[in-house]
Amino acid sequence: MIRENLNLIRQQIREYCVLGKRREDSVLLLAVSKNKPAHDIAEAYRAGQRHFGESYCQEALKKQTELGVYDITWHFIGPIQSNKTKLIAAHFDWVHSVDSLKNAKRLHDQRPAGLPPLNICLQVNISGEGSKSGISLEELPVLCEQVAALARLRLRGVMAIPAPESDLERQRQPYRALCTTVKQLARPELDTFSFGMTGDLKAAVLEGATIVRVGTALFGARTTRSD
């Protein structure tokens, strides 16, 4: 079913791009594979998927070893623990969840010299939820400036997970506010908007997402675990 699900998701993204008057190739699908076995990732890879998102270091490293024959681009999308930054810096191509200068510096200092700069998105707590990580919109300009100065990191954009809403317009509002703020910063390197998941995919694409993170619709429901 993974191949069929993948084709359906891609078709939905294309339809939403047409509706939003965007190029059909302007949105990257990031398959959220946390808590899913390596053989599911391999099946998705064989169906054409190349970008996968993981939240737990040890789980991800095991999968990376098992799937070493595949040319996968690995994204770290979970909360960053200080004792895991060395592993994240060495084994991932992207990190979507940077929300402090401290963690950014650790990733910079621990990024192996032989690797290209680590692609970074800054996580914004767009709905102001106390249970979620991320900086405020007001803090974004300063952290952008600080992270952009770190040579072994490549500042790419922002990531957000707003409070869940069922109404399309209410889903769109926080994404619209985030995109407006980023555009006002006038930083050309900020070319990535990582937001939108299974439940609000349409709203995200309509409001300018360039990376959408889909797990449940692709792999099925996940079980809860911790690193």
Topology of domain 2-197+208-219 in CATH is TIM Barrel (3.20.20)
Count CB atoms within 10 A of the CB of residue 4.
9
Residue 224 reports pLDDT greater than 60: no
Average pLDDT of 59-76? 98
Selection from 60, 56, 63, 48 nearest residue 9 by Cα: 48
Per-residue pLDDT of 158-207, as tens digits, reads 999 999 999 999 999 999 999 999 999 999 999 999 999 999 999 999 99
pLDDT at 226: 44
Q: pLDDT averaged over the chain? A: 95
pLDDT at 167: 97
pLDDT at 227: 46
CA distance 72 to 212: 17
Average pLDDT of 42-66? 98
Q: Where are the alpha helices (DSSP H) in the chain?
A: 2-19, 38-46, 57-66, 85-91, 101-110, 140-148, 168-185, 201-206, 216-219
Q: Report the Cα 36 to chain-centroid distance in Å.
A: 17
pLDDT at 162: 94
CA distance 142 to 139: 6
Instruction: Spell out a b/e string for 199-211, using b for 16 or more CB atoms within 10 Å of the CB, else e.
Output: ebbbbbbbbbbbb
Residue 222 reports pLDDT greater than 80: no
Q: How far apart are the first and last CA of the chain?
A: 28
Q: Report the Cα 219 to chain-centroid distance in Å.
A: 17
pLDDT at 127: 87
Where are the chain's structural domains? 2-197+208-219
Half-sphere exposure of 97 (CA within 13 A, CB side): 20
Asked whether 153 and 108 are in contact (CB, 8 A), the reply is yes
The residue to which tokens 């939240």 are assigned: 55
Per-residue pLDDT of 107-141, as tens digits, reads 999 999 999 999 999 999 998 877 778 999 999 99
pLDDT at 223: 58
Distances (CA, A) of 170 to 30, 173, 177, 181: 23, 5, 12, 18
pLDDT at 55: 97
Cβ partners under 8 Å of residue 24, min gap 6: 13, 14, 17, 18
